[in-house]
Structure formats: C-alpha cells, structure tokens
C-alpha cells in the first residue's frame, strides 16, 4: 500500500464521463449494498449497545486500564521491532534477485493466512520451556509480556514487510544507478535514495502492523496466556469479559473499534497528503 501522490504510486487518472455512466454507477451501488450493510450493521449494533456512560465508567476500572496499557505498550514495541527487523527483509525481496526469492516471499507472507492458533502453537514449540530453542537456552518467555510482543510480531510483521517492499520496489532504478555512479555505496544508496522515497509506504505499513498487533488474540492466548495485569491484552480481556462482565467487554470492544478506525483514517486520509 502506498500513499497517493507519493513517488511510488501512479497518479490517479480521472475518467472522462461517458453517456449512461451515472446509471451504471447506480447499479453497482445497489449490487454493493448487501456487502456494505453486512459490514456496517454489526459495527452499528456494537455502538448502539454501548452507552457513553458505560464506556466512561469502565474506563476507570483497573481491569480495563491494565488491558489498555498493556495493549498499547506491547503494540508500540511490536511496531518498532517490525520496522527494525522487517525493513532489511523488505528491501531484500524488493531490490534483489536471488535463488529462492519466491520461497522467501512466501515465508514472509505466510503469517497472513496462517491461523493465529497455529502461530501460537508454533511459537510455544520453538520458544517455550521445552521448545526447540527455549529448552536448550533455558528461556522463560512464555506467560510474560515478551511473549505477547513475540506473538504480535509474528502475525503483524507481514503487514509492514509487504507495504515496505512495495515502496522499495517502486523506487526508480535509474536513481539508484545514478547514486552508484556518483560513488555511493550500497548503504548510502539505501539511506539517502531508497529510504527517503519509500518512507510513506514504510510509515503506512508500520501503522497497519500496529493495528493488526492491537487486535491479536489467537497466538497470544496460546503462547502468552491470559493473565490479568501481565499478559491480558484488550482482545483477551474481551474474551474473558463475555463470560464474566459483558459491559466491560463491550467497552473494550468500542475502544478497539475506535483505535482501529483511527489507524485506518490516518492511513487512508492523513498519509495522502504526502
């Protein structure tokens, strides 16, 4: 994904009006209506079910505050790690040709379609106390905030890598070649040419990774558990709240909806200025 007006997204073309175009557009609106309603009605039901007074009340409770603080703290760390660790991988698949490149791309994309529960089991078998890596190294990661970050990073990093790779791939090769002719090495070409041109895509990918990490549930509950004040993020608190306190779960759901909507508005509207 890329921001409109950026150097790696083609400028949108304005189609010239043709006879009957408005009538055809109306037909497509009617055909799109079932899907639009299907997506809108549940969200509207959630907002109507939660009153501002209820949301304000539960925002003062320790359980909601702990879940909110843990979610925001871990997702911020996850976003930073996704950028730091994912940028080299994105540049590799975008600008380099090597044997097995398609396999590497598939590996980077796999968490997008992999069931989160499978990701949680895989992380547990790799980094748990008796895991492939955790056992020999004596790691004590499970049921800690670090496990929350690892679970979020596993499922959210592809969103950053895919966006960043698109941005790097859209940098004109002639610009990199000109920098090389001027004596710039690989690192300087990356830092002074590729990175400044692709940064809107990297920023967009970072925001999308943050939003995906915020809503992570399956991998987290298996690898990190659901310990209030320690590993219980907002999605996990919602899951527990539906069994114990529905209004608290609805409050957290509304908060998550608001944060997710804000992230999308920032990506779709705010980044278009660049």
Q: What is the pLDDT of residue 192?
A: 85
Q: What is the pLDDT of residue 180?
A: 86
Q: What is the pLDDT of residue 3?
A: 39
Cβ count within 10 A of residue 266: 16
Q: What is the pLDDT of residue 7?
A: 37
Taking the complete model, does pTM exceed 0.75, yes or no? yes
Q: What's the rounded Cα separation, in Å, for the pair 189 and 201?
A: 18
pLDDT along the chain (274 residues), means of 10: 39 53 75 93 92 91 94 97 96 91 94 94 95 92 96 97 94 88 85 90 95 95 94 94 88 94 84 60
């Amino acid at each position: 994904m890329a921001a409109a007006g950026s150097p790696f997204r083609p400028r949108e073309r304005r189609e010239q009006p043709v006879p009957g175009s408005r009538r055809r557009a109306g037909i497509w609106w009617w055909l799109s209506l079932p899907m639009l309603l299907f997506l809108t009605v549940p969200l509207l039901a959630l907002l109507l079910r939660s009153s501002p007074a209820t949301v304000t009340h539960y925002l003062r409770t320790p359980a909601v505050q702990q879940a909110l603080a843990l979610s925001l703290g871990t997702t911020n760390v996850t976003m930073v790690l996704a950028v730091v660790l994912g940028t080299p991988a994105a540049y590799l698949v975008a600008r380099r040709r090597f044997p097995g490149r398609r396999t590497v791309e598939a590996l980077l994309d796999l968490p997008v379609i992999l069931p989160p529960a499978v990701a949680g089991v895989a992380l547990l078998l790799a980094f748990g106390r008796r895991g492939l890596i955790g056992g020999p190294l004596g790691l004590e990661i499970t049921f800690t905030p670090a496990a929350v970050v690892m679970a979020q990073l596993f499922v959210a990093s592809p969103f950053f890598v895919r966006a960043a790779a698109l941005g790097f791939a859209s940098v004109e090769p002639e610009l990199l070649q000109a920098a090389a002719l001027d004596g710039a090495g690989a690192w300087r070409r990356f830092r002074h040419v590729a990175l400044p041109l692709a940064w809107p895509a990297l920023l967009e990918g970072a925001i999308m990774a943050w939003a995906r990490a915020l809503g992570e549930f399956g991998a987290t509950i298996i690898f990190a558990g659901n310990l209030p004040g320690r590993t219980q993020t907002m999605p996990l608190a919602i899951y527990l709240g539906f069994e114990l306190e529905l209004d608290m779960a609805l409050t957290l759901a509304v908060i998550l909806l608001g944060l997710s909507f804000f992230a999308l508005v920032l990506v779709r509207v705010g980044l278009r200025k660049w």
